[in-house]
Amino acid sequence: MTTTLPVGERIGPYEVRPGAPLPFGATEVADGITFSVHSHSAGAMALVLFRTGVREPIATLPFPPHFRRGAVYSMTVVGLSADGLEYGYLVRGEGDDGTDRVLADPYARAFPGRAEWGRPVDPADPYPYRAGVVRSGFDWGDDAPPRIPKHELIVYEAHVRGFTRHPSSRVAAPGTFAGLAEKVPYLRDLGVNCVELMPVLEFDECDNPRHDPASAHRLYNYWGYNTVGFFAPKAAYGTPDDLRRLVRRLHAEGMELLLDVVLNHTAEGDERGPTISFRGLDNAAYYMLTEDGGYRNYSGTGNTFNANDPVARAFLLDCLRYWVTEFHVDGFRFDLASALGRGPDGTPLANPPLLEAIAADPVLRDVTLIAEAWDAAGLYQVGSFPDYGRWAEWNGRYRDALRGFLRGDPGRVGDLATRLVGSPDLYGGRGPASSINFVTAHDGFTLRDLVSYDEKHNDANGEGNRDGDDHNLSWNCGAEGPTDDPQVLALRDRQTRNALLLLLCSHGVPMLQAGDELGRTQLGNNNAYCHDGELTWLDWGPAARDAGLLRFTRDAIAFRRAHPVLHVATHVGDDGDGPVDVSWHGTRPGRPDWSPAARLLAVMLRGAPTPGYGQDIVYLAANTHWEPVEVHLPDLPAGLRWARFADTYDAEPSVPPGWERAVADPARLPVGPRSVVVLTAVPADEEDSR
């Protein structure tokens, strides 16, 4: 370690004094900057200062012994300016290999050297992830969280770069927070009220060593599920204030913002990975280790964050609080959240301390908490994730039930019926909002590809097509991939609309993947995590966007929002009690067919009166048989008649809510092959121009 012995309260030319231990990280104070970092295993610690763009440090300032309080090293460097300053820490401790390796501050608020997307770190640079000091003082104005009731959320999952990086997006700052902010009017008009961003906590997009075997182009960690900085917005997406402006803009339009956070592991990997921060500060505190000191791997990336250790747990809680208080985010989706509920030996815990602490935290009380209720080591907790009355879950069983039904697989009708009413078998007593329903997400096929491919086509990922899920429940509708066959194309269009309509008419919280409303394809790649280009960027051009599908999606979202019977807060009770009366039907009213051979599901939802419609009644018939079917409609109360909102077999598959048209025969309804029809009850005396 390079040392400059302190003289009194000076270290070389720098005037220093003991700093406040809290908050951790680098904080501007009245007369300089306070640096605070903790480590139980360190025997000595030094602050290393750099100027931006200069490899060699300008100073190395050892923490004098009396600057340490407990395990916290804190020092105020008087007169130091944040402008052009970067910093890190040198640590000496037990097991140290003697290498002068500068570690990143776990509480770093920024990594200014990562502002250029796609610039790989210099392997000869001993400190490629330098922290920066961030000034606070953003003017939030009258910003206030929308506080949308959970059961009314409509989530839109998006990748910051992919959403606007394509030249056709025509934004001023493509691929950034600012670019996404320019598209807020599009999101508002689409009708979603909650945007979930794929990882924006600092990651290294260049840490993927693979290349496309066909083009030899480098591959990336494009999605970002490998966190480097837990408190820092990704610099290549913009400044911290750019993200704040995006949040403020979304809030002003009545939309919430969720962050997809990766807390289950870090970018350090296993013993073969780089030492960036945690490994050098307190390896045993931050990571789950085996008896012989190896890394337990429940994340599929080499390590697992140790949610059982109080130090690591406090760090993660500080992280979540920071994003809520400093960025006003409205909630989180937790990647591989089940990994955070394992005990020290990997056994799933009945009462995981971190998950309980998050649920009970006063700062986090009002934010949305969504678990990806499984991990990479086979733990699957959909319906059984420890929820503490707070946690919702990505409902993988909803996805699979809908996909299987959509294909016309036998024995799927009963399962889908359960999923349509909020999966009470999984979330009884917790409410439908505990179920985040989805057909597609970033991890898997796009919706267009779900109806265009039987098999994954991941050769460009450089892993011999071995990566990505093999259990997709997809169907190509008669031809694999691109085709000019009009019948195949028409069926794909219908299947796409069927999926969206079922999703948006289901109890629970629907989540759409960005671009599915435009017909985006990844050419059959169901694991496009490594591609930064045309395959993953959203093409906004008229040739790529399906205007009819976009219109249909808008109509379906608007219809959901107009009908409270579709977004209820509680499940229908076993005895029929609840906010909605649900009745199941077949070709005859009240005679559902639950047999394995059945491919027709019909349901009527009947709720309280709603403005513009009177009594809120919705009827849905979904036929996944290859032949048409005629259903007899249930009777309506006096003074009401059936009107059609959507029929995916029709040339005009939907109308804007309020413009539903009376059905030709009030008693019988034709339902085309592989199609979905949705009706609503309207006053019988209204003109047919609704």
* CB atoms inside a 10 Å sphere around CB 344: 13
Q: Give yes or no for a contact between 190 and 513, defined as CB atoms under 8 angstroms apart.
A: no
Q: Which residue, chain included where needed, has tokens 């009245």?
A: 30
Quote the CA–CA distance of 429 and 434 in Å, as a whole number. 10
Closest CA to 390 of 418, 371, 374: 371
Cα 126 to Cα 88, 103, 404, 669, distances in angstroms: 11, 9, 51, 71
Quote the CA–CA distance of 176 and 414 in Å, as a whole number. 44
How are beta strands 85-93 and 42-51 bridged, if at all? antiparallel
Closest CA to 340 of 397, 264, 269: 264
Residue type at 578?
G
Quote the CA–CA distance of 681 and 58 in Å, as a whole number. 74
The b/e string for 410-430 (b: 16+ C-beta within 10 A; e otherwise) is eebbbbbbebbbbbbebbeeb
End-to-end Cα spacing for the chain: 78
Here the tokens at position 409 are 């697989």
Q: Give yes or no for a contact between 510 and 504, defined as CB atoms under 8 angstroms apart.
A: yes
Closest CA to 37 of 5, 71, 79: 71
Determine whether 180 is exposed, middle or buried from the number of CB atoms within 10 Å of its CB (0-12, 13-18, 19+). Answer: buried
Residue type at 669?
L
Residue type at 511?
M
Cα 76 to Cα 3, 33, 34, 185, distances in angstroms: 18, 5, 4, 45
DSSP 385: S
Angle value at C-alpha 223, between 217 and 227, nearest 5 degrees: 115
- Judged by DSSP in three states, 9 sits in coil
User: Which residues, including other chains, have CB under 8 Å from residue 466's CB and lie 6 or more apart?
Assistant: none
- Judged by DSSP in three states, 434 sits in helix
How are beta strands 368-371 and 331-334 bridged, if at all? parallel
Here the tokens at position 311 are 């130090």
DSSP 293: S
User: Which residues are annotated as catalytic?
Assistant: 335, 372
Does residue 207 come out as left (phi exceeding 0), alpha (psi in the -120 to 50 range) or beta?
A: alpha
Quote the CA–CA distance of 689 and 325 in Å, as a whole number. 49
Quote the CA–CA distance of 635 and 585 in Å, as a whole number. 12
Quote the CA–CA distance of 71 and 220 in Å, as a whole number. 38
